[in-house]
Structure 1
């Protein structure tokens, strides 16, 4: 979560202003969420220039599509994350097209049937990273230590000064929550 500076507009105010078409709200949204968007893009794409391009595209898309955003129906950060997922998928698809063109030009044309699946897996990873960021502590920290830093449950329990059973319980509940959210999004996501 990002901290709100004194006198800075709240996320709700930023969302309302963006939906109303206030350019200052777009600038405020960029200040508030560009770091998250860039981090998600960089984590998946692995290329700083591509991540910067995706970040710019997300906020351009948000501005152009602001009439489709209803602050009463959801948080602006979640909406921006959804746009980010689609822009990352677009960039991965463009990379796959560029790769196929290069192979065709070199006479090495072959069909990579797994590229579409790899792209979807990558988008799922971005989604899960965003969902993980929304989980409250200590569960979020426990899941990050377990899965991003490959720490054992006893090591996490010792580091966080929690009982081992509590750590295991947080991991189990956190994974169930993430699984349910992924199923929910996959069931509702028809935009491909």
Structure 2
């Protein structure tokens, strides 16, 4: 097929996607799923993260199909742009989770004990928070999962996940301060 034929086929595929044809999304996945996965794999250096990002890219493509303009640019370039945004989102979520966990640890005057004892105490305090907050924090901090994945897995809005993390970390910080002021190990 010529370059002109390729661009015409791409424009037709784009138009089908914009009109809501799920087969168009499936075709895009067949054609460019490997490209998206490869970019994610190289950027994130983790196979599971790359698979998650690939799924998120095609879900985002479906949800934001109205932003694709048939005939202007290639669908592959559009998917690559979405991929770069999802990778950046994942990195930012992880950075925030680590920063929040570090803030909780730094905010306490908890004496240094071996890591196993600290982990046991932290897990105990997480459980005391109750679900869904405990589940959200466990997935975000202990399992290092992205907020979007937590939202999807637990079936709760992304903003709610972020609120649970923030409020849960504040509560954990408060409890750690109480424990250290009581003279507990």
TM-score by length of 1: 0.49
- Superposed displacement of residue 14, structure 1: 2.3
CA RMSD of aligned residues (A): 2.0
Contact residue 40 and residue 83 of structure 2 kept, 8 A? yes
Quote the residue 1:14 is aligned against. 13
Larger Rg: 2
Question: If each structure's helix is expressed as a fraction of its own residues, which one has the higher value?
Answer: 2
Which residue in 1 is equivalent to 2:157? none
> Which deviations, in whole Å up to 9, do the C-alpha atoms of 1:18-41 show, x marking residues without a partner?
122100001111111111111111
> Hey, what's the Cα distance between the residues in 2 that align with 1:74 and 1:81?
12
2:68 maps to which residue?
69
1-structure distance, mates of 2:106, 2:46: 27
- SS state of the match for residue 106, structure 2? coil
Q: For residues 108 and 49 of structure 1, what CA distance do their matches in structure 2 show?
A: 32
Q: For 1:1-192, what aligned pairs fall within 5 Å after superposition? A: 10-107=9-106
Shift of 1:108: 7.5
CA positional deviation for 1:106: 2.1
Counterparts of 1:87 and 1:44 in 2: how far apart (Å)? Answer: 11
Task: Name the CA distance, whole Å, in 2 between partners of 1:76 and 1:64.
Answer: 15
Shift of 1:98: 1.4
TM-score of the aligned structures, taking structure 2 as reference length: 0.51
Separation in 2, partners of 1:108, 1:42: 35
How far off is 1:55 after superposition?
0.6
- SS at 1:70 equivalent: coil
Tell me the SS of whatever aligns to 1:107: helix
Alignment coverage as a number of residue pairs: 101
